[in-house]
Amino acid sequence: MGLVFANRDVNTETISAARTLERGDTGKMFVLDAAAGATVTLPSLAYGLNFKFVVGAAFATTNWVVDSAEGDNINGFISDMGSTPAVVVASGEDQINFVASAETIGDYVELVADYDNSQWLVSGMCAANGGITATDPS
């Protein structure tokens, strides 16, 4: 059973290792819960897809990475609420990274497929500066 927020069920799943999501996973909130991060790969863009990722446990050795299957198509922004508030801008990125040793339990991102414009729209928030980054490593 998922978590209950404001009288509505939220379909949640805990992830503790690398995973490739499928279209049937749409609408889920994934709780990232492992001592070391891993890569979660989004499915190919399709109408209506949406996912939320939340840090559920501290991790110290490697980042949790949310990776686009197509690449160069994550756009949006993440509010960085650390001691020096900032905005992490994603513009044609491949990945969203929850950064090891900078994460805070509760940091999150949401990704929504904008199929008409061939992009993932990202929004989110992190509590410490550098807790979440957007990158295009290739």
pLDDT tens across 10-27, in order? 799 999 999 999 999 999
pLDDT at residue 2 greater than cutoff 70? no
Judged against a pLDDT cut of 90, whether residue 9 lies above it is answered with no
d(CA 138, CA 136): 6
What confidence score (pLDDT) does residue 26 get?
97
Instruction: Give the tens place of pLDDT for each residue, 84-136.
Output: 999 999 999 999 999 998 999 999 999 999 999 999 999 999 999 999 999 99
Asked whether residue 49 carries a pLDDT value surpassing 90, the answer given is yes
Q: How far is CA 106 from CA 27, 55, 59, in A?
A: 18, 5, 13
Closest-CA residue to 69 (of 19, 103, 16, 32): 19
Q: What is the pLDDT of residue 110?
A: 98
Task: Give the model's pLDDT for residue 8.
Answer: 57
Could you tell me how far CA 38 lies from the centroid of its own chain? 12
| Full residue range of the structural domain in which residue 125 is found | 3-135
The count of domains in the chain is 1
Does the structure show a pLDDT above 90 at 1?
no
Q: What is the pTM of this model?
A: 0.92
- How is residue 24 written in tokens? 């049937």
